[in-house]
A and B are shown apart, each in its own frame.
Chain A
Amino acid sequence: MHNISYHAPCKLSDAVSLLLELEGSRILAGGTDLIAKWKKSHFFDMTLVDIRNIPELSVIEEVEEGLFIGAGVTMDRVSEDERILSKFPILAEAASKVGSVQVRNLATIGGNACNAAPSADTVLPLMVYGAEAVIAAKEGERRVALREFFIGPGKTVLKKGDVLKGFVIPNPPANSFAYFVKHSRRPGMDLATVGVAVLLVLESEKTADIKVILGAVGPTPIFVKGLDIFFGGKIDPDFVTRIAEHCANAASPITDVRGSKTYREAMIKRSVALCFRNHTR
C-alpha cells in the first residue's frame, strides 16, 4: 500500500508550522515534478503539505518595485497574464514552453524554481529580470536574490520550514529588451537541451547593460559574469560572435540523453547569438 499523509492548510503560517512539526514533510504544489519523481523512485512514503489553498500564494499583484507573482501561480496563468505579457514578456514565453497543456495547468512557477532542475524554463527569465525570492519562515519573511537561490542540481537555499511565497520582479529599466530561447529536441513536451535568457539595455544605440542566464548547461542556471566588457558596444556580427563565445565559456555542459557536451556548446553559442540577432532584426 502507498503510505501518504496529506495536509492542506489555508494559512501560510500553518503551512510553516506543519513543515516544522511533521518529520520528513514536503510541499505539494502542482505535483508535476514530485509525483513523477515518486513514481520513478518506487513510491516512497510521503507526508505532504499542499499549499494550493493558501490565498496569497496564488496572487499576481503590482507592488512598489514591480510585480509580485505567488509561488502557486500555474504556468498557464503566467503565460496568459496581461501584466506579465506586457512587462516581462519572456517570462510568459518561457512558461508557455513548459511541458504540455496538461502540465502547464498544474505546474507552478514556484515549483519550477524549488525543484531546482538546471533546465527549469521560467527560472531563466526570472533571474535575468533580477527577481527576488520571497521566503516565509517561522521567524518571518526574508528575500533572496534568485541568483543566490540555487546551490546545486535539486538543491536550493530553502531550509526546513521555509515556504517559497513568491517572486518580486523589479520593473525592467527603460529602453530594455528581453529575449528567450529554449532549444529542445522536439517543439512540445520536452526539457531544454539549452536555455538562454537575455536582458539588454540600450543607450543611444549602444549597449548600456547586458545580462545573460544560461540553463541546462551546468549544475544550476548560470548567471554569465564579466559581460561589462561588452557594454558601450554596438551590436554587429562581430559583437554577436564574441559575446556568444564568452557565454559558451561560462558554461559547463555535460553529455546526457538530451545532447552531447559538444552539441550543447554549439547550441549555447547559437542561442545567444540568436537573441542578439533577433534584436537587430
Chain B
Amino acid sequence: MSSTAKEVRYEKGDYSVIGSRKPYVDAIDKVTGKTVYVTDMTLPGMLHGKALRSPHAHAKVLNIDTSAAEKLPGVKCVLTGKNVQQNKWGPVTKDEYLLAVDKVNFVGDEVAAVAAVDEETCEEALSLIKVEYEPLPAVLSMHDAMKEGAPLIHEAFPGNVNHHFNIPRGDIEEVFRNAYFVHEGEYEASLEYQAYIEPMGGISTWDNRGNVTIYAGIQTPTWSRNDYAVALDIPVEKVRIVQPPFGGGFGAKLSQQVHPLGALIAKYAKQPVRFCLDRLEDFQCGLPRVPMHFKLKTAWSKEGKYLAKQVKIIADQGAYASYGAAITLTAMYRIDIMYQVPVVHSESHLVYTNKVPTGCFRGFGNSQKHFAHETHLDEVAERLSIAPDDLRLRNIAVPGYMNPHGWKANSVEVEACIKKGMERSDFHEKRKNFLVLNKEDNPIKKGIGMAPCVHVSGNRSFIKPFEGGAVLLRMNEQGKVFVYCNEPDMGQGIRTTLTMCVSDALKMDFEHISVPDPDTDIVPFGLGCFASRGTYMATGAMHMAVADMKNKLIKLASELLELPESDLELKDGAVVSTSNPSKSAGYPELAWKHVCDNPGQHLLGIGYFTPAGVDYPDDKKYNNISGGYAFGCHVAEVEVNTETGQVKVSKMWGIHDVGQPINELALEGQIQGGIAQGYGWTLMEHLRHGPDGKIINACFLDYQVPTAADIPEIHAEVVDSFEWTTGFGAKSIGEACFIGTAPAIQNAIYNAIGIRFNELPITAEKILSALGEKKKGGEGHA
C-alpha cells in the first residue's frame, strides 16, 4: 500500500483501560529478581566465548600465533579471521568482519576469539595468543578524516567518506541574498554512551542441520536475522532469534557484532556458547551516539518569518558504518516537519575514523540536530528581539502541513505543547524576575530556557517494499489470549501497552493475557523496536486484531446462545446479551467450543497495519516517511554557580503531543527517563579517546551518568491529541522525550549567564573558563 491508499480517519473510542495508569505487567518479576535476562541464561553444555581485541587504533595484522592458547586445558577452539567462514557485514554498508582479516581499525576491534569452559580460561587463552601488528597512522578526529593525505581506513571509501548526501529544495542563495536577516552558527554534539543496565550479549546454539538459535539482547530480532546470516555466510532461514528480557538498549541493540560473532564461535566449538561483553568491552565496542558537527545558516524576515535553512554536517561514524547513513539523514532534515520553512538545503559527509563504531541512540541524529537548531533559533530570537516561544510559534507546523520533502503531518499539537510549557513553567514572568535577580551580588545566577521538539512514529526509510506492523492473537482452549507481535519490549513497556489494548477491547482481565518473548520462528514479521515505532505500529495492528477476535467471539456466542449477533456485547470476559444480561457465555466456554467444533484450532485474531499516506523516499529523498509525527516542548530552569561553573537544573517540564496516551504511567516514566538521559548528555557525559585512540574513561566512575541525586524535579504532561491514521490514535514518546532536553538546558544557561556553549557536554570547567574569559572582556560565546 502506498500514499495512494484511501484517506483513513479513525475516531477516538470509549476507552476504559486505555489512557489509565498501569504498572508494567512484568514489573514485579523484575524488581524481585525473578526475570531471567540474557546474561543470566545457561544452556546444557554451554561454553563461554571471549574475543581478543586490538590494542591499536589502526594496524596491519601480520601474523597470529594461536598454538599456545589451543593447548590450554579447557579451551575448545581458537578462531582467527583467516580460519573461519565469514563475510563482511553491516546493516547499511558491508564493511566489517566478525574477526579482522589483515587489518584492525579501532582499539577494541576483534582479532581472535576463543571458546572455553569458563570466562577465566577464556581470558587466559587470550593472553596466550600472540599477534604481530604493524601500526598504521590513525584518524582520530572527524575533522581530519577528509583532509588531504589522511590515512585511508577502508579501501572502498576514498577520503574516508562513507556517504555524502546533498538534498537541495529551492534556490537557497537567492533567499539568503534578499533576506532581512541571515544568521550563521556552528555546533557540535559529542560521543555519548547508552549506559543500559545490561551489556551487549547473546547465547548461541547450533543443531546438526546447520540451524542456529541466538538468545539475544536485541531490539530487532526479525530484521537482524538478515544481517547475521550475511556475516555467518548461511541462508537467513537458518537463523532463529529468541528475545528474552534484556537490560535496555536505547538504540544500541539493533544489529550488533556480538551476536553473529558469538554464533560463529559456537559453530566451531560445536557446543552452545555464551558471548556477553563485560562493561569495559561494552564501552570500547558498543555503538555509542554518532558525534556531529553542524554548520547552520538561516534566513529570516523582519517579522521573524523563517525563510530558509541550510545545514552542513560532518558525522563521525567511527571504524564501521552501522546505521550512520540513516542517522545522518535524520539529522539533516527531520526537524523540517516542525517548522514551515519553504526553502531548505541539507548536506552531509559521513566519515570513518579509527574510533569506536557509532550507531543508533535515542533520537537517531535528530537529538544532535535539535541541540544545534534550537540553540540557533534562540540566537535568532534574540537578534530579532522576538521572544523565543513567539519566534517558534510564528513558524510552527499545523495539522496537514506538507513540507518541502513531501512529508505530511497529520495530528499536530506542538503549538499547544509550547503554550502549555510556557504557562506551566511561568516562563515569561521568570525571565523578567531573573533579569533583576541576576544583577544582585550572588554567585548563583538563574535562567530558564525552552525548546520544542519533533520525532516520528516509525521511519519509512529502511526497507523499500515494507512498512507497518502485525499482531496475531491466539485464544487457547481455556480462553487465555496470547499476543504475538514483533514490536518487542526492551523495558519501554510495549508488553503492557499491548496487554492494555486487549484488555480494553475484549473486556478481559490482565491475568488472562500474555505477551510471550518474541521468537522469530513464531512471531509475525516486523521490523522491531526503533524509530519510536512500537506503539504506533503495534496498536495500529492490534486495533484490527481485537476487532477480528471480537467478531469471532460474538459469532460463536450467537450460535451457542441462539441470539442474534446484534444483541451481543463483550463484558467482563464474556459475551453478554444486551436485552437479557442473564444470558451470557464466558470466553473459556466459547474458546473450548471453538477447539471442539474445529478440532484443535485455537481462536485467532489477525491484525496488520500500514500507515496511510507514507511512502518509501525516492532517489531525491522525497516522500512522507511517517504517519505520526510526535511533538513536544521542554522547558528547563537552571541555577549556574559562577564560582564553580556547576549547573543545577532545578526543574524541567516535558509537555508532549503523543496522540492518544495508552499507559499514562509508562508515558510519565518515559518522559522522566528521557529528560534524565538528556540531562546527562548535556552536562556530564562524554566518551573520550586518548591520543592513542584508547577510550580514557571506559568505566562508570570516569564516564559519569546522572544519579538520582542529580535529576531535576520533572513535570510531565501530555496535551489533548489523537492521531487519526492509527486505530487507537497513539503516536510515540520514546525519543521525543529525550530530544528537547539538551537545547532547553543550553538556552536556560544562556539566559542565566549570557554565554552559549555550542559544544556538548557543557561541563563545569567549560562554564568557569568561559566566565573567566567574559570577565576579561571576551564575547559571550564558547
Contact = CB atoms under 8 A, between A and B. Distances in A.
Interface of A: 1-2, 40, 42-43, 100, 183, 185-191, 257-260, 262-263, 266-267, 270
A259 B696 contact: no
A257 B120 contact: no
B509 interface: no
B709 interface: yes
A189 B707 contact: yes
A192 to B, nearest CB: 12
A257 B765 contact: no
A186 B684 contact: yes
Given A1-B120, A2-B120, A266 B707 contact: no
Nearest to B697: A257
Given A2-B120, A188-B710, A263-B764, 5 more contacts: A186-B710, A187-B710, A257-B688, A260-B765, A262-B769
B551 interface: no
Given A1-B120, A257-B697, A260-B765, A186 B643 contact: no
Contacts, number: 47
Given A257-B702, A267-B644, A187 B697 contact: no
B123 A42 contact: yes
B342 to A, nearest CB: 45
A1 B120 CA distance: 6
A257 B696 CA distance: 8
Query: Which 8 pairs between the two chains have the least Cβ-Cβ distance?
Result: A188-B709, A187-B709, A188-B707, A257-B702, A263-B765, A270-B643, A257-B697, A189-B707
A201 to B, nearest CB: 27
Contacts of A263: 645, 764-765, 768-769
B684 A185 contact: yes
A42 B769 CA distance: 39
Contacts of B697: 257
Nearest to A269: B643
B219 to A, nearest CB: 28
Contacts of B704: 185-186, 190
B701 interface: yes
Contacts of B120: 1-2, 43
A186 to B, nearest CB: 5
Chain B interface residue bracket vs A: 20 to 34
B708 interface: yes
B118 interface: yes
A188 B705 CA distance: 11
Given A186-B684, A270-B644, A259 B765 contact: yes
Nearest to B680: A186
B706 interface: yes
A1 B72 CA distance: 13
B488 to A, nearest CB: 32
Contact of B764 (A2, A42, A185, A191): A185
Given A1-B118, A257-B697, A183 B765 contact: no
Interface string B270-299: 000000000000000000000000000000
A187 B702 CA distance: 14
A247 B536 CA distance: 61
Contacts of B118: 1
Contacts of B684: 185-186
Nearest to B118: A1
Contacts of B707: 100, 186-189
Contact of B644 (A42, A183, A260): A183
A75 B769 CA distance: 35
B256 to A, nearest CB: 24
Contacts of A267: 644
Q: Which residue, B684, B710, B765, has most C-beta atoms of chain A within 10 A? A: B765
Contacts of B769: 262-263
A191 to B, nearest CB: 7
Contacts of B768: 263, 266
Given A1-B120, A270-B644, A191 B765 contact: no
Nearest to A258: B702
Nearest to A193: B764
A267 B768 CA distance: 10
A186 B644 contact: no
A127 to B, nearest CB: 24
Interface in B693-741: 696-697, 699, 701-702, 704, 706-710
A187 B699 CA distance: 18
Nearest to B702: A257
Contacts of B643: 270
B709 A186 contact: yes
A247 B66 CA distance: 56
12 contacts: A1-B118, A1-B121, A186-B684, A186-B707, A188-B707, A188-B709, A190-B704, A257-B688, A257-B696, A257-B702, A262-B769, A266-B768
A252 to B, nearest CB: 19
A270 B645 CA distance: 11
A216 to B, nearest CB: 14
